[in-house]
Structure 1
Amino acid sequence: MISYIARRLLQSALILVGISLVTFVLLYLLPADPARQIAGRSATAETVESIRQQLGLNLPFYQQYLRYATGLLHGDFGRSYLQKTEVVELIASRLPASLLLMAGAITCELILGIAMGLVSALRRGSGLDNGLMLLSFVGVSAPQFVIGILMLYVFSVQLGWFPIGGYGTFAHLVLPSLTLGVLGAGWYARMMRSSMIDVLRQDFIRTAHSKGLGRATVIFRHALPNAILPVIAMIGIDIGMFMSGIVVVESVFGWPGIGQLAWQAIQRVDIPIIMGVTLVSALAIVVGNLMADLIAPMIDPRIKLR
């Protein structure tokens, strides 16, 4: 276990280095000029050049990246060009809100997806099965901003059950979590249905029935732990999808997380913030995948970590 974790951590470090390099290259190639953005449209060429020198933007690419990478090794993500604040402080102030939203979304997608997939597998071929699979297809296909706007219109404007936007209470969390969770729930429902149907055909399930075990015991004690493994493996990957979807959902619901921070930084070409949010998102994906790999053997002891 220790050697496996050490190997995965080394792989994760290399992945993060690669992501930082690729992102830095893409931002370096942008036609927008951060120095001009900071100085303003009316600034003189001398002022723009002075800002460029202060920020080190006049240096060759490899020197800029080495300066940034050296700062990362010391925990320095740089300083926001426009907000004049350390990027670490900005992300730290926004990260709890995003983690809370992610936890709510994962909870929603697991509850909805597993329940829908389980019911569909047990009622295979019925009208209920077809209806749930159609619903899951709609959830997978619909854009998240459309789902978010519809939920706001129905549950906030028409019914008045939840606030239109904001942050701070459980009521504020419900609609953004459902909006993010609907996509994952659709995937999980389809995956859970296929996995459950396959497990129910296995010999050990027939053996459990022949021993006289009740239907509920066979399903929830024997079939479900085996069928749920593909879903657990997908959670780590889903964190990456959440990080991309959070930008849209946080903007729709006015949620003060790193997605909203990233969107504001992109509009202003605030490169240190964009780099910081990208690396934090990549780290979340890596950690999520590692946790999924470590949890799987706890559910099914037949899985060995190598």
Structure 2
Amino acid sequence: MLLRYIFLRALMLIPVSISISVVIFMIVHLLPGDPIDNLIRVGSSPEDRAALVVKYGLDQPLFVQYFRWVGAMFQGDFGEAIVLRRPVADLIGQNLPYSLQLGALAFLFSSTVGIILGTISATTRSAIVEQFVRGFILLGSTVPGFWLALLMILFFAVQLQWFPVSGARSWESLVLPVLTIGFGGVALVARVTRVALLDVRREDFVMLLHAKGLSSRTILFRHLMPHAMLPVVTILALRIGWILGGAVTVEFVFGRPGLGSLLIRALGQRDYPVVQGCLLMLALAVMLGTLIGDVAQAAMDPRIREAKK
């Protein structure tokens, strides 16, 4: 049953992927300017510009360019960067490991700390601790990532000089970007964990467990947490795509290589194939995270599989 559910959910991603590819292609090509502006030299004639337009197929109708792009992707070819003049697949392959490393550490940080803080907030009897955690959740939910990144650089890198301002040469260069991306994730995961635990604690079976004489620790970790983890697992799976998307501005602010830096540079140059490839990778990460979340939910709760038949 679970395999059938996974197959059906994966099948549903096909029309979604096609729709996303159309949206990405149209948005990129409707932006003002084009990559030819970054290729022609000062004083070039209109004929030189027209020759470059024809060379890169930009004179074709948009639907022709789209189908050529999609057809090449089915053959594993993401095209060639117009300005950088390198295969897009090579550029993505060169920068993706940096984004995955940053995203994995930020995901681990936000998941672990978020679940711990959410559990503390839901189970503590100290008003001070609860108010502190709730204040942290509110702060993390409202502070923009790029603004937090600038504050991190100003305080920890410039003033205290604990960590490098930019680059990716050592593990120290990962600390500030991971904290910046993970901060908002901690707040989100903590809030979901807190609400889920409080909801489960109101169930009748919890009163029965207390009546049986089980300790609060046993009830929490053996009975409450497994029930409360269903929405938490869902939000964590969605964070997979959100983290890679959130890393776009953070990588640029910290001067790190990665998909984010590559995307922003390509946007400035209007390098269509690179922008399309990067956006498609980010979209696939979001869809993959959604699929993982749905499968995890179905594996934890059989009622979801039954409802999806």
Q: TM-score range by the shorter chain?
A: over 0.9
Are the structure 2 counterparts of residues 212 and 300 from structure 1 closer, same or farther at C-alpha, using a change threshold of 3 Å? farther
Match of 1:204 in 2: 205
Query: Shift in Å at residue 244 of structure 1?
Result: 2.8
Matches within 5 A, 1:21-170: 21-123=22-124, 126-170=127-171
Distance in 1, Cα, partners of 2:41 & 2:236: 44
> How far did residue 168 of structure 1 move?
4.0
Structure 1, unpaired ranges of 5+ = none
In the TM superposition, residue 241 of structure 1 has moved relative to its aligned partner by 2.4
Q: CA deviation at 1:141?
A: 0.7
Shift of residue 16, structure 1, vs aligned partner: 1.3
Do the aligned partners of residues 258 and 52 (structure 1) sit closer, same or farther apart at CA in structure 2, a change above 3 Å counting?
A: same
The residue type paired with residue 135 of structure 1 is F
Question: Which residue identity does 2:288 align to in structure 1?
Answer: V
In 1, are the aligned partners of 2:242 and 2:286 still within 8 Å (CA)? no
Q: Deviations over 1:230-268 (max 9, x none)?
A: 121012322332233211100121221110000000010
Asked if the contact 1:226/1:300 (under 8 Å) is kept, the reply is no
Identity of aligned residues (%): 36
Aligned residues: 306
Is contact 2:29–2:272 with CA below 8 Å preserved after alignment? no
CA–CA distance in 1 between the matches of 2:187 and 2:202?
23
Native 8 Å contact 1:165 1:253 kept in 2: yes
Give the 3-state SS of the residue equivalent to 1:13 in structure 2.
Answer: helix
Question: Match of 1:282?
Answer: 283
Distance 1:302 1:11, change over 3 A: closer
Instruction: State the one-letter code of the partner of 1:165.
Output: S
Displacement of 1:69 in angstroms is 1.1
Distance 1:164 1:133 in 2: 31
Q: Which residue number corresponds to residue 256 of structure 1?
A: 257
Q: Distance in 2 between matches of 1:12 and 1:40?
A: 44
Unaligned runs of 5+ residues in structure 2 are none
Report SS of the residue matched to 1:105: helix
Secondary structure of the corresponding residue to residue 43 of structure 2: coil
Q: Distance in 1 between matches of 2:297 and 2:288?
A: 14
CA contact (8 A) 2:137 2:188 kept: yes
Q: CA deviation at 1:70?
A: 0.7
Deviation at residue 303 of structure 1 after TM alignment: 4.7
Distance 1:40 1:22 in 2: 32
**Alignment partner of 1:260: what SS?**
helix
Q: Once structures 1 and 2 are overlaid, which stretch shifts more, 262-271 or 22-31?
A: 22-31
Deviation at 1:15, TM superposition (A): 1.2
State the Cα RMSD in Å.
Answer: 1.8
**CA distance in structure 2 between the partners assigned to 1:238 and 1:185 by the alignment:** 11
Measure the CA separation in 1 of the matches of 2:305 and 2:45.
Answer: 64
1:33: Cα distance to partner?
2.4
Q: Deviation at 1:178?
A: 1.1
